[in-house]
Amino acid sequence: MREPSDELSRLLEKFRAGKLSEQQLLESMAALDGSASASDADRATVRSGDEHRCRARVADWLDAYRAAEQSGADTLETWADLSGDAALVGGLRTAAAREAKHAALL
């Protein structure tokens, strides 16, 4: 079974290569997030005191989220580099900076 962060990386590669639309990426990420939610067994594990496993899952999820934020920043920067519209470039760079800041915070 693939880890959620591996699956997210695969989805982002497909998106960057143009094999997935933005909508398909968002739907796939939502499905991935749903599959990564805590099961009854996971909740029982946490209740039994195995906090290390729970922390590792949270850390993996946060790392995947950070990767998605950084991917968004990279995509927006590339778009800005390729755009000839100065007004659009300014907005794209602002959004890219915001996404990069989110990634840095995570």
Name residues of the chain where pLDDT drops below 50.
36-38, 46
Give DSSP secondary structure letters for the chain: ---HHHHHHHHHHHHHTTSS-HHHHHHHHHHHHHHTSPPHHHHHHHHTT-HHHHHHHHHHHHHHHHHHHHHHHHHHHHHHHH---HHHHHHHHHHHHHHHHHHHH-
> pLDDT (tens digit, 9 = 90+) per residue, 64-81?
999 999 999 999 999 999
Q: Does the global pTM surpass 0.75?
A: no
